[in-house]
Chains A and B, each alone.
Chain A
Amino acid sequence: MTEMTSIDAVQKMLGDQGYICGRDLGTVVFLSLRLGRPLFLEGEAGVGKTEIAKALAAGLNRKLIRLQCYEGLDASSAVYEWNFPAQMVAIRAAEAAGGADTEALTADLFSDKYLIERPLLEAMRPDENGAPILLIDELDRTDAPFEAFLLEALSDFQVTIPEMGTINAPEPPIVILTSNRTREVHDALKRRCLYHWVDYPDFDREMEILQARAPEAAEKLSREVVAFVQLLRTEDLFKKPGVAETIDWAKCLLALDVINLSPEVIADTLGAILKYQDDIAKLQGSEAKRILDQAKASLEPV
């Protein structure tokens, strides 16, 4: 299917794109590419689920097609739609020109010219770089009917358009589905995919990620930031900060020309890592200082 021959190759390819992934995620991505199975990634917001699709597309030099899900998403916005206004104009124009060749007109009206391709159909079209990568983002936001429709689409990669016939994908796209788990996705859909729960990275990997994503940050500051966030995740928070928050926060601190963390700086920039009032209130006062001291203590031996 692809030129990826081993898990190491996958990890290296993603690493070249600035996506540092662990062995677990590398394995499941490799298997998904090798077996041609959709990859279903679940995890907290901001752990890099969507990012992996972008890195894969860049690494494999494929087109990335993204279907952003929302409640009430239907086939006409996910697969295809006829361009009705243009068709009406064409009819009127034909009438005005006095052309009475209805056969030709009908054939022309329902041709590719008036077909608006939406992501799913687009992903089934041949591409000179190989099968595109289809990212179905935040699947949990759709409703059960769309999920049932998706089941069918993912199992045989063909779409039937009544006026045109069946369109088959010459090579099935690489499908990546993500979910934030705001509801449980149906078992039948999960069964067709390889599942992976994307977890928060450990200290070393988060350091690597931060160096890849915010290389201009000084080593010392990066270490403090990562140690602080790692400790923060062990606290009893309603919404733990994700990797995206770590990177954001590091960039915020850079913008403020901060050299090392202090309780005052943390208090001023807490909004970059914690997004719930309850959580921010928890870290007011001495609590932030306590965690910071703990974080600095954990860095001491180095």
Chain B
Amino acid sequence: MVEHLPLDLPDDPKLAGNITHFARALRRAGLPIGPGRVIDAIRAVEAAGFSNKPDFYWTLHACFVNRPEHRRVFAQLFRLYWRDPRYLEHMMAAMLPAVRGVQEDRPAQAAEKRAAEALLDGAEGPERGEEDERPDEDTVIEVDASFTMSSSERLRSLDFEQMSLAEMAEAKRMLARITLPVKPLPSRRGMAAANGRIDAARSLRAALRRGGEMQQLAFKKPRPRYPNLVVLCDISGSMSQYSRVILHFLHAVSNAKGAGWAQVHGFTFGTRLTNITRHLATRDVDAALAAAGAEAQDWEGGTRIGASIEAFNRDWSRRVLGQGAVVLLITDGLDRDRPEELARHMQRLHLTARRLIWLNPLLRWDGFAPKAAGIRAMLPHVDSFRAGHSIASLEELAQVISRPDDVGEKARLMAAAHQP
């Protein structure tokens, strides 16, 4: 039984209280901080002194941060919390948009919003319109789909609207539910097994230990290996409602430990193909999405699916599909290029991929029919065609991704496409 020593807290009860409150704010921002670490932090501050701000910062940093991805959240919170003693009233009065404070023109840093919300103790911020579903102006897809595409290529770098805490929690819950279980493939590397092919080397080695007596044969079987996942995500204007969510999902999948995928490669395309694999490896979702957004210059511009797939085939397919990868193509298929070109590039992609699964958010309409030429060109060249507009549809995807015989809605739509 440990004898509890009386807590020897510093004379200034306000400081201890402040540190405690700060720790609670950090906890709400997602850092795993228990009361033990709060006590440590108070003691550490006492030991290190409270004379200058950098020392104080690094003292708390040493106690509260134990993962690189938490550094940013900590920095933001510290900046907000210890800037002004009357910060809280100030913040409550000003609400979220004013968190950006003095430099109104500066775009919000990654994790800043999370930090602010954590400080505000879950106070609701103003509603953000982009979360709402855009009302479907017309539930019929026009063949030329002109309302979704701008005639001029709108090339610009767009800062992702940062995730709020609620979204983050939802994404984490989603992540806990959705993994993409994948069937292992046999590799050329062997492993010891109770039965299988005879492992001559091991049998003889065992026999040598017994002075050349062959008592028992050793066997080996192929060691399982997991395929790579390659995700091609359309980020053009017509897909803007989904691409962010899908990228979140993608980030979750690529950071899910032990999900089975050997490697996850991510590409975004609108008018141009961008490899965002490295950014997906950034563990902080905000930072990863911000980096990917900076990289993809054509966020919400027009769509050139054919050209993008051609670029992928030319520059990347042999580099990332070499070991038999499952390809997830996430696009609505509304393309302005020539359909026969598109069909040719799709065919090549189909032939080089182990499996090609097309997720199409437009499938959420029951009356969806493949009227657009692009969709009709692409449809014959995919293994499976599924909806991809909601968590439910992603859950379905998780169930079918390792079933090689699954074709999703493809058969139904192929039949529909051939009707006069």
Chain A: residues with CB nearer than 8 A to chain B? 70-72, 74, 76, 81-82, 84-85, 87-88, 91-92, 95, 102, 109, 140, 143-145, 181-184, 238, 278
Contacts and interface: CB of A to CB of B under 8 A. Distances in A.
A72 B204 contact: no
Contacts of B189: 72, 74, 143, 145
B323 interface: yes
Interface in B240-294: 262
Given A143-B187, A145-B189, A88 B322 contact: no
Contacts of A72: 187-190
A76 B200 CA distance: 13
Interface string B183-216: 0000111100000000011001101100110000
A71 B212 contact: no
Contacts of A84: 200-201, 204-205, 208
Nearest to A183: B322
A191 to B, nearest CB: 15
22 contacts: A70-B188, A71-B188, A72-B187, A72-B189, A72-B190, A74-B189, A81-B201, A82-B205, A84-B201, A84-B205, A85-B204, A87-B204, A88-B207, A92-B212, A143-B225, A144-B262, A181-B318, A181-B319, A183-B319, A183-B320, A184-B320, A238-B348
B314 interface: yes
Interface residues of B, number: 22
The 4 A-B residue pairs whose C-beta atoms are closest, nearest first, are: A72-B188, A84-B204, A91-B212, A182-B322
B323 A183 contact: yes
Given A72-B190, A145-B189, 9 more contacts: A71-B188, A72-B187, A81-B201, A82-B205, A87-B208, A88-B207, A109-B208, A140-B322, A143-B225
A76 B201 CA distance: 10
B208 A184 contact: no
A87 B200 CA distance: 13
Chain B interface main SS type: helix
A72 B223 CA distance: 10
A72 B201 CA distance: 16
A76 B314 CA distance: 37
A236 to B, nearest CB: 8
A182 B188 contact: no
Interface in B18-58: none
Contacts of B322: 140, 182-183
Interface of B: 187-190, 200-201, 204-205, 207-208, 211-212, 225, 262, 313-314, 318-320, 322-323, 348
Contacts of A144: 262
Contacts of B225: 143
Nearest to B319: A181
B208 A88 contact: yes
Most buried by A among B200, B212, B322: B212
Contacts of A70: 188
Contacts of B319: 181-184
A199 B323 CA distance: 25
A125 to B, nearest CB: 23
Contacts of A181: 318-319
Contacts of B190: 72
Nearest to B323: A183
B58 to A, nearest CB: 30
A210 B225 CA distance: 44
Contacts of B208: 84, 87-88, 91, 109
A102 B319 CA distance: 54
B276 to A, nearest CB: 14
A49 to B, nearest CB: 16
Nearest to A44: B318
B200 A71 contact: no
Contacts of B262: 144
B211 A91 contact: yes
Contacts of B205: 82, 84
A259 to B, nearest CB: 36
A109 B204 CA distance: 13
A238 B314 CA distance: 6
B316 to A, nearest CB: 10
Contacts of A81: 201
A71 B262 CA distance: 15
B279 to A, nearest CB: 15
Nearest to B223: A72
Given A76-B201, A88-B212, A91-B212, A182 B187 contact: no
A95 B212 contact: yes
A109 B211 CA distance: 11
B192 to A, nearest CB: 13
Contacts of A182: 318-319, 322
A76 B212 CA distance: 21
A275 to B, nearest CB: 13
A57 to B, nearest CB: 29
Nearest to A182: B322
A149 B239 CA distance: 44
A52 to B, nearest CB: 22
A144 B208 CA distance: 32
A144 B225 CA distance: 11
Contacts of B188: 70-72
B211 A88 contact: no
Nearest to A81: B201
A109 B208 CA distance: 9
A71 B187 contact: yes
A92 B211 CA distance: 9
B115 to A, nearest CB: 32
Contacts of A102: 211
A69 to B, nearest CB: 12
A186 to B, nearest CB: 11
B206 to A, nearest CB: 10
Nearest to A70: B188
A224 B36 CA distance: 79
Most buried by A among B201, B205, B318: B318
